[in-house]
Amino acid sequence: MNRSLVLAAWIAGLSACARPTLTELLTRATWVDLTYAFDSTTIYWPTAKPFRLEVVSAQRTPAGYYYAANNFAAAEHGGTHLDSPVHFAEGKHTTDQLPLAQLVGPAFVIDVTRQAQADRDYRIVRADLEAWERAHARIPERAIVLFRTGWGSRWPDRARYLGTTKTGPAAVPELHFPGIRPDAARWLVRRGVHAVGIDTPSIDYGQSSTFDTHQTLLAADVPAFENVAHLSALPATGAFVIALPMLIRGGSGGPLRIVAEWEVVRGTTLIPKFRIPNSAFRIDQAGSPFLITSSMTSPNRSISATVV
């Protein structure tokens, strides 16, 4: 091989090893949908109007083309949805005022399934967060903290998910599901997290009558995501979340489409510089590139990723 051919092969090799762009990484990313579909079974707060879909057309028109269209109506707070700060804090952000940057970011998934299994009225406490940090990583500013109670396995069974099949004001005292205690909410505010989500109907537990955790988080302009789906599919750290609500002007919340991605790991600005937990990932660092191999398994699959 002459010298120019060697040089050409070397340059080709270099470009093959080039760091993939963010666009390239996202193009081949695997996304997990953390959203429940909206239909007649979608669970709403017992006093709220449920989702309704009215078929306007689902047929071939006289002109020969097929045409489908529907009307829909629903309360803001039901199914997978956003609580905007103004929901419990006068003067704070409405749905359309929330900065986009607050609705996307690295996810930190706190698992309290064991505690919630033992007590359906379990309230996540500050000690749960501190224990999680000791086992995993420090929760940084701008994190999206998602609480996994295991309640998703009960969806859409109203009796098991809400604690009651009743609707209207009489149902409210019979609500039983886990939530977050205000001391944990205050801790999250001090950490400067961007948003908090949970796989139950409310960030306050079912038996709450004063909604102190709503008051605490929303007064600090920290929005909440409720009835978040499929949290069992996410690792404790390393996922990136995009949570986009319907842009209701002046809204106190709204239907939310929330998705996560975690196989595009590292090498981009997607993942912040935090300590990756030994329990979830093993990192072999021999200069560059890095090899990251996950030993974590989820109910859906095990993951491993080689990245540069």
Interacting residues with Zn ion (CB under 5 A): 77, 83, 226
> Minimum distance between the CB of residue 160 and Zn ion, rounded to whole angstroms?
20
Closer Cβ to Zn ion, 86 or 292, answer by number: 86
Single-letter code of the amino acid located at 85: P
What the block records as the tokens of 80 is 């997978």
Q: Could you tell me the sign of the dihedral formed by the alpha carbons of 6, 10, 11, 15, in that order?
A: positive
Residues 6+ positions from 214 with CB-CB distance below 8 Å:
83, 87, 88, 202, 203, 204, 224
> Minimum distance between the CB of residue 128 and Zn ion, rounded to whole angstroms?
22
Task: Count H helices and E strands in the chain, helices first.
Answer: 7, 15
Closer Cβ to Zn ion, 199 or 226, answer by number: 226
* Residue of minimal Cβ distance to Zn ion: 77
Closer Cβ to Zn ion, 207 or 298, answer by number: 207
> Minimum distance between the CB of residue 14 and Zn ion, rounded to whole angstroms?
52
* HSE-CB for 125 with a 13 A CA cutoff: 5
Among residues 225, 301, 229, which one has the least CA distance to residue 263?
301
Closer Cβ to Zn ion, 144 or 264, answer by number: 144
> Minimum distance between the CB of residue 149 and Zn ion, rounded to whole angstroms?
16
Single-letter code of the amino acid located at 23: T
Alpha helices of the chain — where are they, by DSSP H? Answer: 3-16, 22-27, 113-118, 126-135, 158-162, 182-191, 212-219
Closer Cβ to Zn ion, 77 or 93, answer by number: 77
Cβ-in-10-Å burial (0-12, 13-18, 19+) of 174 comes to middle
> Minimum distance between the CB of residue 194 and Zn ion, rounded to whole angstroms?
17
> Minimum distance between the CB of residue 226 and Zn ion, rounded to whole angstroms?
5
> Minimum distance between the CB of residue 81 and Zn ion, rounded to whole angstroms?
6
User: Angle formed by the axes of helices 212-219 and 182-191, to 10°?
Assistant: 10
Distances (CA, A) of 178 to 64, 85, 116, 226: 53, 21, 6, 12
Closer Cβ to Zn ion, 83 or 111, answer by number: 83
> Minimum distance between the CB of residue 68 and Zn ion, rounded to whole angstroms?
30
Please, are residues 304 and 287 in contact by the beta-carbon 8 Å criterion?
A: no
Cβ-in-10-Å burial (0-12, 13-18, 19+) of 1 comes to exposed
Q: What is the DSSP string of 191-228?
A: HT-SEEEESSS-SS-TT-SS-HHHHHHHHTT--EEES-
Closer Cβ to Zn ion, 85 or 106, answer by number: 85
Closer Cβ to Zn ion, 168 or 299, answer by number: 168
